[in-house]
Structure 1
Amino acid sequence: MFDGVQPRIPIAELTTVAAGVDHAEGICMTPDGVVHVSGEKGQVYRIDAEGVATEIASTGGWTLGLASDGAGRIVACDPARHEVLRLDPADGTWTVLSAGASDARFATPNWAAYGPRGDLFVSDSGAWKGGDGRIVVIRPDGRTELFTTESADFPNGLAVTPDGRELWVLESTPGRLVRFEILADGRAGPRRVVAELPGTVPDGIAFAADGSAVIACYRPDIVFRWRPDGPPELLAADIEGTALAAPTNVLFHGPDLDTISVPNIGRWHVTTFRVEGLRGTPLWYPVAADLGY
């Protein structure tokens, strides 16, 4: 997609933080603004204002996607345990939220995102190039239901639109961005292709306030910006795979939501940078009292 294109952010302007994290993939921000990332042995790390990471808990499995509710409890997708769990940072305890829908256990729970009604959407990626992926949803009352099987090609990162009306999903094989309307009754509308992403293995997505979306790719080592009214823009790239090393997901954070952080599953750090004029949108944080689990 970007042969011969220079990234907007030079590699010298990419900042490394959270040194020593264990091949982080997932990333989230709790309502108090604190960033957390996951590790390949089930760890959850807290990153402080100085960029220092501290392990606060572990599932004992392998944590991928992370999400936070309004109480600062952290949801983790664990494909080794085939479960979605929730961490209460106050006491370090884990609660299993779901092992999958009633008709099938999770195969590869990968990423999770809350919607405005408290629904927790989870990509169950399935086998690599197996064509058996699906999206499930954990309802506020704790029930796990199938959302759609139409996103079968390794559904990966996903995000609910700022207006709460759609779920956007990255399919990794082949690279593609798709969307589903979230109907009034909570069911999925038909799958619609937003963009083909040839030559990439897209992994994580975050919406920007201007209507664009920032996407991190497991392959190649790039972060780019999808734009609704123009061609995609290459934001950051690393042909040597050092500053960016299989960047897997994207988070806007900071007081103005203008800092972009991406974990790198290929190394032991998180990469941060800013793009002038680019800000994120607030995430959905369901109130704990509205969740029946």
Structure 2
Amino acid sequence: MRRLSVAALAALTLMGATGCAAAADASTRARPSDPGEAQLERLVQVSSVHEATGMTLVEGPVIGPDGDLYVVDVTAPPGAAKVMRVDLESTEVSTVYTDDTSAITSAQFSPHDGRLYLTDFLGTIISTTADGEDARTFFDAEVEGARIAPDDIAFDEEGHLYVTDSQGAQAPYWQASGRLLRIDRDGATATVLASELPAPNGLAFTPGADGLWVSQNTGNRIDFLRLDAEGTAVATAHPAVFASVGEAQIDSLATDADGNLYVGLHHRAAVLVYDAHGELLRTIEAPAGDDVTSATNVAIVPGETTGYATVSGPGGGFVYTFEALADGIRSSNGG
């Protein structure tokens, strides 16, 4: 795990970790009505703007085995809380994990070993216990000669990892140089499934785990991929959803039991909900007047319709709630 100064971390984050310009100012002009408008409701504040980095960006919500919600702060400086736990009954917030070197962008519990896996945009994947103990570097290697910039993560049923590599072999961030990777659950083998992608960000399996959705942060599109039987190669793929979001950018995504897609946004504190055919079903937006400018990721409680969104802006980092259109499943939870 390489070291990075606070100033460099802030510069990198502003350049685009998970499209990480979320806490920047965003337009508040009126927008036309969207189909099925709904509202995000604030639950709890989990972070404030950091003096060292000039921003906060809350990401990676996941419901843990204890029933608590875990979130990460991408721009937390060394020693500050990088993974936090929210007791959903008391709304008490506690620190789970911190270090001096990482920029954590997402979190998910592995179905294989039950550990919490964290993507570090600076080039590694970390795993810890649910309490943030026994931190291990799971993956820290170049893939086909290029250092990775891991953004979001999804597990298949056997516990193998699928990871969006937002930077890939080239810079700057907005060039179509990102990749989709598969890493075996033992961390020994990494495979490039797709390349030349415009900053791939979110990814989630379909309810039947027979397809994979991948959102492209600087392409404002979502691709649909079918993998081979082993999950080690792409059988077919196509651009499936194009988001008309103006100055905003699409970010992370999740799927529910009916196959609907929940897509977070940067530069707009809203979540877009599409069905599997690409029809926009609902826009779930933070109330006007809330000092927030992004809603980058969601988690839906498995077996329930209660959803949580990570929302950030000049006012700080927050968890908001919403009602999903269908029950959550494992691929609704984290990543």
Answer whether TM exceeds 0.5 for this pair.
yes
Q: Specify the alignment match of 2:239 in structure 1.
A: 193
Q: Any unmatched runs of 5+ in structure 2?
A: 1-29, 49-55
Q: Which amino acid aligns with 2:61?
A: I
Q: Specify the alignment match of 2:301 in structure 1.
A: 253
Q: What are the superposed Cα offsets for residues 246-281 of structure 1, whole Å, 9 maximum, x if unpaired?
A: 111110016x42111111243321111214x53222
Q: Specify the alignment match of 1:269 in structure 2.
A: 318
Q: What are the superposed Cα offsets for residues 145-194 of structure 1, whole Å, 9 maximum, x if unpaired?
A: 22323461000011122212222100011200102112113222233111
Identify which of 187, 190, 197 aligns with 1:142. 187
Task: Report the Cα offset of residue 30 of structure 1.
Answer: 2.2
Name the SS of the counterpart of 1:27 in structure 2. strand
Partners of 2:291 and 2:147 in 1: CA distance:
33
Task: Report the Cα offset of residue 93 of structure 1.
Answer: 2.2
Task: Report the Cα offset of residue 29 of structure 1.
Answer: 2.0
1:26–1:263 contact (8 Å) kept in structure 2: yes
Q: Which amino acid aligns with 1:270?
A: V
Identify which of 99, 106, 125 aligns with 2:147. 106
Q: Specify the alignment match of 1:31 in structure 2.
A: 65
Task: Report the Cα offset of residue 209 of structure 1.
Answer: 1.7
1:99–1:105 contact (8 Å) kept in structure 2: no
TM-score normalized by the length of structure 2: 0.75
Q: Which amino acid aligns with 1:120?
A: L
Identify which of 90, 95, 100 aligns with 1:55. 95
Q: Which amino acid aligns with 1:55?
A: T
1:59–1:94 contact (8 Å) kept in structure 2: no
| Structure 1 residues 106 and 249, CA gap change in structure 2 (3 angstroms) | farther
1:114–1:284 contact (8 Å) kept in structure 2: no
Q: Which amino acid aligns with 1:57?
A: Y
Q: Specify the alignment match of 2:279 in structure 1.
A: 231
Partners of 1:128 and 1:198 in 2: CA distance:
21
Q: Specify the alignment match of 1:43 in structure 2.
A: 82
Task: Report the Cα offset of residue 44 of structure 1.
Answer: 0.7
Residue pairs, 1:84-103, within 5 angstroms: 84-90=125-131, 92-103=133-144
1:222–1:244 contact (8 Å) kept in structure 2: no
Q: Specify the alignment match of 1:288 in structure 2.
A: none
| Structure 1 residues 122 and 27, CA gap change in structure 2 (3 angstroms) | same
1:5–1:234 contact (8 Å) kept in structure 2: no
Task: Report the Cα offset of residue 32 of structure 1.
Answer: 3.6
Task: Report the Cα offset of residue 67 of structure 1.
Answer: 0.9
Q: Which amino acid aligns with 2:190?
A: E
Q: Specify the alignment match of 2:290 in structure 1.
A: 242
Q: Name the stretch that deviates more: 147-156 or 98-107.
A: 98-107
1:160 aligned onto 2:205: yes
Q: Name the stretch that deviates more: 138-147 or 172-181.
A: 138-147
Partners of 1:237 and 1:194 in 2: CA distance:
23
TM-score normalized by the length of structure 1: 0.85
Q: Specify the alignment match of 2:215 in structure 1.
A: 170
Name the SS of the counterpart of 2:158 in structure 1. coil
Task: Report the Cα offset of residue 241 of structure 1.
Answer: 7.2
1:18–1:47 contact (8 Å) kept in structure 2: no
Name the SS of the counterpart of 1:247 in structure 2. strand
Partners of 2:226 and 2:279 in 1: CA distance:
24
2:105–2:119 contact (8 Å) kept in structure 1: yes
1:169–1:178 contact (8 Å) kept in structure 2: yes
Aligned residues: 280
1:79 aligned onto 2:121: yes
Task: Report the Cα offset of residue 104 of structure 1.
Answer: 3.1
Q: Any unmatched runs of 5+ in structure 1?
A: 286-293
Task: Report the Cα offset of residue 107 of structure 1.
Answer: 3.5
1:121 aligned onto 2:168: no
Partners of 1:101 and 1:284 in 2: CA distance:
29
Q: What are the superposed Cα offsets for residues 213-236 of structure 1, whole Å, 9 maximum, x if unpaired?
A: 111111332211111357303332
Q: Specify the alignment match of 1:20 in structure 2.
A: 47
Name the SS of the counterpart of 1:89 in structure 2. coil
Q: Specify the alignment match of 2:33 in structure 1.
A: 5
Partners of 1:53 and 1:176 in 2: CA distance:
34
Partners of 1:224 and 1:151 in 2: CA distance:
25
1:101–1:145 contact (8 Å) kept in structure 2: no
1:205 aligned onto 2:232: no
Partners of 2:174 and 2:109 in 1: CA distance:
30
Name the SS of the counterpart of 1:189 in structure 2. strand
Q: Which amino acid aligns with 1:134?
A: R
Partners of 1:278 and 1:243 in 2: CA distance:
29
